[in-house]
Amino acid sequence: MSAPSDDVRIYSPEHLLTQAATAAEHLGYRILEFYVDEAGNLAKGVTSQIATFHYSPSGGTLRDHNLNIVLYSAKFDLYKGFGKAERDV
């Protein structure tokens, strides 16, 4: 049995990307699942509740089931910098 920290439903940037690599896609979002606390926030460990989240690789955002932005990180944006002209330095 794997250690609890290896459970990809415990939120971490690495677990988000691991899930996203094989997640089902719906309307441009990758459908992910993470443990949440009583308030529905991403949990730092295993809880009794799992919630569905929507990850947008083209915007680097993770949204809850109501599509409210839960987090944004430029490192999750697959298209960051795409189309910007490189400048000679």
DSSP state of 43: P
pLDDT of residue 76: 84
| Separation of first and last alpha carbons in the chain | 52
Give dist(CA 9, CA 12) in Å, integer.
9
- pLDDT by residue for the chain (89 residues), tens only, comes to 445 568 999 999 999 999 999 999 999 999 999 999 999 999 989 999 999 999 998 889 999 999 999 999 888 887 665 444 444 44
Give the global pTM: 0.80
- The secondary structure element, H or E, covering residue 32 is strand 29-36
Tokens of 32: 């992910």
**Are 64 and 53 contacting, i.e. CB atoms less than 8 angstroms apart?**
yes
Structure tokens at 8: 């990809």
